[in-house]
Structure 1
Amino acid sequence: MATSPQTYRRARFGSVLRRLREQRKLTQSAVAAQVGVGVDKINRVESGRVKLEVPLLRTLLDTYGVQDQVRRDAMEDMVVNLAKPDWWASYSLHLALQDYLGLEKDALAAWAWEPLLVHGRMQTKRYAEALLSAGESVIPGGRERVENMVAVRMHRQEVVTSSLTVVLNSAALDTEVGGPDVMREQIAHLLTRSEVDLRILLAGRPHVGLDGAFTKLRFPDGGELACVESLVTTSYYDDADSLTLYERAAGQLTELALDRSASRAYLEERARVL
């Protein structure tokens, strides 16, 4: 049986199928018998260790009673995308980042809390280069890595079109990444991104977001995910308790932040005084 690299992206999709099976109170053995495959195949599909073909997906969705055609079509598209190289394949990226970019591509919408940095999908080229250069002596790869990652961030902005909401801590604008000229350019760029729901949270009040940045992804198959990035990897949380906690945290941060109009006025003022 041909297996594929077990990434979180593939395993997440498998877990969606597992939950659909469990909602019907079916065992893996019962499903295998109904669809005419070995139980090991069902196990490997649900754990993300084997490629899933569209015909088998359709049969599984029939077995699980999924009739929503929009959802079915979205899941078929995701299976096709899982099986083919994508835009990041031409870059030298570690598997954890490839995994996240794939999850982001699959997502219908993203919500992000950024306490220290401008969100990657909204960074200018000069901001990204100055930011990544600051870690050049710490993170392996040197200048080649910086140039590669800047190219990835710019390409990402061209191809990722899912809905994006960002709550940005005003403190992120206090760090002059690249100097005043770069920051003026960066803030001017933020003001052009009208398709993004950008909210500014003024520094000075304690809140749950002081624990660090996180992103919530929502998928067309009904799944959700909370993501926490570190220097080493990205951690994912999709259990009900964790998702509830991150949803409550996102709610608090959104409530504390300025609305879109006031956020724009704040950015315009910051650009004037830089």
Structure 2
Amino acid sequence: MATSDPTYRRARFGSVLRRLREQCQLTQGAAAAQAGVGVDKINRVELGRVALGVPLLRTLLDLYGVQDSDRRNAMEDMVVNLAKKSWWNTYSLHLPLQDFLGLEQDAEAAWAWEPLLVHGRLQTERYAEALLASGDEVIPGGQDRVESMVAVRMHRQDVVTSALTVVLGAAALDTVVGGPDVMREQIAHLLTRKEVELRILPVGRPHVGLDGAFTILSFPDGGQLAAVESLVTTSYFDDPESLSLYGRAAKQLTDLALDPSASRAYLEERVRAL
């Protein structure tokens, strides 16, 4: 089977299988022998350098003692999704964004801190268009880039259904993107997204989140990662120390923010003030 440089998404799944094998105190050679494949196959799967079929996955999960049916089904779904074209393949997107969209699709829950911008899954079309257009002098692509990325964000909202919690900095509402009418529409839209746990963090409270936005994704296979996006790429952290740090940061931000009911009242007041 053909190999390729691993995306983080595939490498993450391979690392899950590696941890399961190590928990059973099996070497790659022992796992390969019992699964009836070459040791190189196990090695490449764990590195994310080769695709994994559902039959081999089932064999490995049996071998590693994974009996929970929900977890097994979720991991099978991930293998299928990794092998097929996804909705974002119809757009010309750079690899880091494709990788993140795939990870987001695999996740069962997302927690996000957004200090300055409305979260992408909560943006209105006009807000997204005005926001993306503001980067025309810096980011190449012009109007074609703006239209493509707006389409991606709207499509993303239609197809990504994982549970979402957002702590939104009040400064994001103070930044007038596209003018008062666009902001009024955007804030009113936030009030309609009752399936999202939205908490507003008022300004004037020092906290670790002043360092920048981040997202924590939780997966049905038991894994987690923290994602930090920049203009160039997205960095991922899945080691225990980093996850513990980001988990503590998420707790601090959640504790400092208004609860969902008070956040809703805050948004209602902001709409009336515009």
- Scaled by the length of structure 1, what TM-score is found? 0.99
Partner of 2:116: 116
Partner of 2:176: 176
Contact 1:107 1:218 in 2 (8 A): yes
Partner of 1:215: 215
Aligned partner of 2:39: which letter?
V
Name the SS of the counterpart of 1:137 in structure 2. coil
Q: Shift in Å at residue 229 of structure 1? A: 0.2
Please tell me whether residue 227 in structure 1 is matched to residue 223 in structure 2: no
Deviation string 1:172-203 (CA, Å, 9 cap, x unpaired) is 11000001000000000000000000000001
Contact 1:117 1:172 in 2 (8 A): yes
Number of corresponding residues: 274
Please tell me whether residue 193 in structure 1 is matched to residue 193 in structure 2: yes
Alignment partners' CA distance in 2, 1:139 and 1:39: 45
Please tell me whether residue 243 in structure 1 is matched to residue 243 in structure 2: yes
Structure 2, unmatched stretches of 5+, are: none
Partner of 1:205: 205
Displacement over 3 Å in runs of 4+: none
Partner of 2:61: 61
Aligned partner of 2:254: which letter?
T
Partner of 1:8: 8
Partner of 1:254: 254
Q: Give % identity.
A: 80
Q: Shift in Å at residue 4 of structure 1? A: 3.8
Partner of 2:86: 86
Partner of 1:28: 28
Structure 1, unmatched stretches of 5+, are: none
Partner of 1:39: 39
Deviation string 1:10-69 (CA, Å, 9 cap, x unpaired) is 000000000001111111111111111111100100010001000000000011000001
More divergent stretch after superposition (134-143 vs 71-80):
134-143
- CA root-mean-square deviation: 0.6
Q: Shift in Å at residue 5 of structure 1? A: 4.4
Alignment partners' CA distance in 2, 1:70 and 1:262: 35
Deviation string 1:144-188 (CA, Å, 9 cap, x unpaired) is 111000000000000000000000000111000001000000000
Contact 1:4 1:51 in 2 (8 A): no
Alignment partners' CA distance in 2, 1:100 and 1:166: 17
Alignment partners' CA distance in 2, 1:134 and 1:72: 44
Q: Shift in Å at residue 3 of structure 1? A: 1.4
Name the SS of the counterpart of 2:138 in structure 1. coil
Aligned partner of 1:161: which letter?
T
Partner of 1:105: 105
Deviation string 1:210-263 (CA, Å, 9 cap, x unpaired) is 000000000001100100000000000000000011110000000000000000
Name the SS of the counterpart of 1:176 in structure 2. coil
Aligned partner of 1:37: which letter?
V
Alignment partners' CA distance in 1, 2:103 and 2:50: 18
Name the SS of the counterpart of 1:235 in structure 2. strand
Name the SS of the counterpart of 2:168 in structure 1. strand
Alignment partners' CA distance in 2, 1:57 and 1:94: 29
